[in-house]
Structures are given as C-alpha cells and as structure tokens.
C-alpha cells in the first residue's frame, strides 16, 4: 500500500497483492511455518511492482497471525526479513482472531493516512498444520497424568469466553435464521462450482506465488490451490456427516 496525496486528503492505494496456494490441513504446505508462507507472499508482492518500489523504501510491515505458538519471536519480522526486506524495516504481528489479516491492512492504511508511513506491507499468514500441542510443565507435577492442549483449537477456534467451537457459533446462526442443511449444501455447492470455473479459467494464476517444496526425491512446485476438492456434487455433499451438530 502507498499514498496519493491530493488536496490534503491522503488516498491509500493497493499497489500489489500476492498469496500462496491454499492447501489442506497436513497437506502439501504443512512443513512450512506461517512466517515462511508470509515471506513468499511478501517477496512475490514486491516483485510484482517490477522494481518501482525498493525493499528499503518500505516503512513498515504489519502481519496478522492467530496461531503463533512455537513460531519464534515476532513472526511478522521473520516474514519481512525472509521476504527480502532489510533489518531497518520494523514489523508488527497482530492477533484479532479471524479478522487478523484484514485488521493488519486497516492499520497499514491508517498509518499512511496519518503520515506515519508512506509504503506499508500488510497481510496475514497462518498454518494450522504447524500449530503445536502444548503442555503446562513450567510448574511440573510431582505425580499423575497431564493433558496436552491443541493450540489450534485453544488459541484459534475455541471462544475464550463461552468456550465453544467457532463451528457451533455458525450452527447457532443457522438455527436462529432457520437455514436448513439442504440450503447450506446448495450454497456450498455453488461456491465449489464457482471456484472450479474460476480456477479452470486461470483467474487465480496472477495472484498466487508458487512455492518450491524440496523432497527426498526432487523439488516440487506448488502453484495451485489444493483445497477445496474438485468434482463434488449435491449427492456427495448430502451424504457427508455433519461436523458439529446433527
């Protein structure tokens, strides 16, 4: 993002936007931490402006990330450095649950509007596959069993106040609005079909930055979304078990 000042009103514009392929839980990108994925997107976004903005011209990096356990100190800064930005560029990691990436962009726009920055890199990075199971051993128990905590659920998907899964909140909305299972399946199917059509026409190609994954046999380039599944139908969806409520 950068600014275009006209008549004392600072207009914020988006110069470039890139993302990684979207892959399934424990799928093709599961070996990479969130900041590594963020670095790929940052590097791709900077490359897309064709050298019109140098890395040293970026004033700030703001990245949203919910699941930061075991990611290392300040994942946004790790993404910035590995994305080709110099040490002098400050970086901030923010957490606003599902709105983290969007909030990062809002904060970047606000920084430009207030004159605190001229060029900001902002976005979101996440890897559920890398979310660890945690154990409270700082004050070790003398005897007895202890429990592992799934940080993906505890830090990302379980409400901290009502202690319910985010999927249950969706179920509650569906019940309150009298949205049936069939209506949800029909809506979901249309989303799948629109995705398949857009992907087949190459509409996502210009926004996806490919990632090279090294395996024991060779290097594999990931340049397409792994999810959602292709070729689904209403018949298939209607037979799937519900996840949260019957």
Sole residue written with tokens 């051993």: 137
Is the pLDDT at 215 greater than 90? The verdict is: no
| CATH number of the structural domain 2-130 | 3.40.47.10
Q: What is the pTM of this model?
A: 0.92
- According to the model, what pLDDT value does residue 5 have? 61
Report d(CA 169, CA 162) in Å as an integer: 10
Q: What is the mean pLDDT of residues 115-131?
A: 98
Is the pLDDT at 10 greater than 70? The verdict is: yes
Q: What is the mean pLDDT of residues 35-39?
A: 99
Q: Are the beta carbons of 136 and 146 closer than 8 angstroms?
A: yes
Range(s) of the chain covered by CATH 3.40.47.10 = 2-130
**Digit-coded pLDDT (tens) for 82-96:** 999 999 999 999 999
Is the pLDDT at 245 greater than 90? The verdict is: no
Mean pLDDT estimate for the chain: 94
**Position 7 confidence tier, pLDDT thresholds 50, 70, 90:** low
């Amino acid at each position: 993002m950068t600014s275009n000042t006209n008549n004392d009103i600072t207009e914020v514009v988006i110069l470039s936007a890139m993302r990684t392929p979207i892959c399934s839980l424990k799928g093709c990108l599961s070996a990479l931490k969130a900041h590594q994925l963020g670095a790929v997107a940052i590097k791709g976004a900077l490359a897309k402006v064709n050298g019109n903005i140098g890395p040293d011209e970026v004033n700030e990096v703001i990245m949203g990330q919910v699941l930061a356990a075991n990611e290392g100190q300040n994942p946004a800064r790790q993404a910035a450095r590995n994305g080709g930005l110099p040490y002098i560029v400050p970086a901030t990691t923010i957490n606003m649950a599902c709105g983290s990436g969007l909030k990062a962009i809002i904060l970047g726009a606000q920084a430009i509007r207030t004159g605190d920055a001229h060029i900001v890199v902002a976005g979101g990075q996440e890897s559920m596959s890398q979310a660890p199971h945690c154990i409270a051993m700082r004050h070790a128990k003398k005897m007895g069993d202890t429990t592992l905590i799934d940080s993906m659920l505890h830090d990302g998907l379980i409400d901290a106040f009502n202690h319910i899964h985010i999927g249950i909140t969706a179920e509650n909305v569906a019940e309150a609005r009298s949205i049936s299972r069939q209506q949800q399946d029909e809506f979901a199917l249309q989303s799948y079909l629109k995705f398949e059509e857009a992907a087949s026409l190459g509409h996502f190609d210009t926004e996806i930055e490919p990632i090279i994954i090294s395996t024991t046999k060779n290097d594999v380039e990931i340049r397409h979304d792994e999810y959602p599944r292709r070729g689904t139908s209403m018949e298939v969806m209607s037979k799937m078990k519900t996840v949260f409520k019957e």
